[in-house]
Amino acid sequence: MSVRPPLRHLKRNPLLLLGLALVGVISFAAIFAPLLATHQPLAQDLDTILASPSAAHWLGTDEYGRDVYSRMLYGARVSLWVGFVSVGIAVTIGLFLGLVAGWFRGLIDECIMRFVDVMLCFPSFFLILAVIAFLEPSLFNIMAVIGLTSWMGVARLVRAETLSLREREFIQAARLAGAGTARILIRHILPNAAAPVLVSATLGVAGAILLESGLSFLGIGVQYPYPSWGNILIEGKQTLGVAWWLSVYPGLAILFIVLGYNLLGEGLRDALDPRGQR
């Protein structure tokens, strides 16, 4: 039985609604970037270098005369793509290891959880920096590294849910009916453990976007020709005294998307908590 919050509860949750609004607006802008962009994101115009916001360039231009508004729209695509793919990798690994550890227990559980403890000992950002230092900084590598270093929380959540659910009456009934381990895990355990995983994944998207922005700001994240909010920020750092818009607009975009996913995650946590439903 999966937990399905009533629609009336969702409507009464302002955090969830605000998070949905922020995420929805930015996701819409990213999806329809080719239609909404007023210029090509890589097109240079040396006659409009560091031009302030105007009717021709709504958010100004950068040091190469590229339109910041158009680059922001395409940068949203990159940031959201990194967030979704890296969290997808992390959730897949965490689900598998958490289900295996919680169901089989014993030595298998001990080995998996001790590995989780070892991974949690390393600060994730510095671990990612160390791995990226040995790899070519590309979009694929960024997504893979963030995903491969962010699964531990999901694994612990799923393990705890599996340990609780495996002793329930409906699981015992499924065993008596002859259901195999794989069927029980997929058809019974996984749907009931989905609520905390969904909340964790939503919050994880915000964390992945922040990590990507930080890596791009340091110059080892998303590389040319892909525009991202992080590498627009680092361009703004070099011209902060004369082109404030290069720092303000991508900074606000990162703030709003991370705030949106955090509010969405908190709202889902409240909505999916049976104790909070009236």
- pLDDT tens readout for residues 167-184: 888 888 888 888 788 888
Angle, vertex CA 233, rays to CA 229 and CA 238, nearest 5? 155
Contacts of 104-108 spanning 24+ positions with Cβ under 8 A: 105/163
Among 91-100, 191-200, 213-222, the range with the most confident prediction by mean pLDDT is 91-100
Domain boundaries, the chain: 7-36+62-276
Please tell me whether the overall predicted TM-score, pTM, comes out greater than 0.85 for this model: yes
Please tell me the distance from the alpha carbon of residue 12 to that of residue 15, in angstroms, as a whole number.
9
Fold of the domain built from segment(s) 7-36+62-276:
MetI-like fold (1.10.3720)
pLDDT digits (tens, 9 = 90+) for 205-250: 999 999 888 888 887 888 777 788 988 888 888 788 888 999 899 9
Task: Give the H/E segment covering residue 207.
Answer: helix 194-217
Q: Are 178 and 114 in contact (CB under 8 A)?
A: no
Give the pLDDT of residue 5: 46
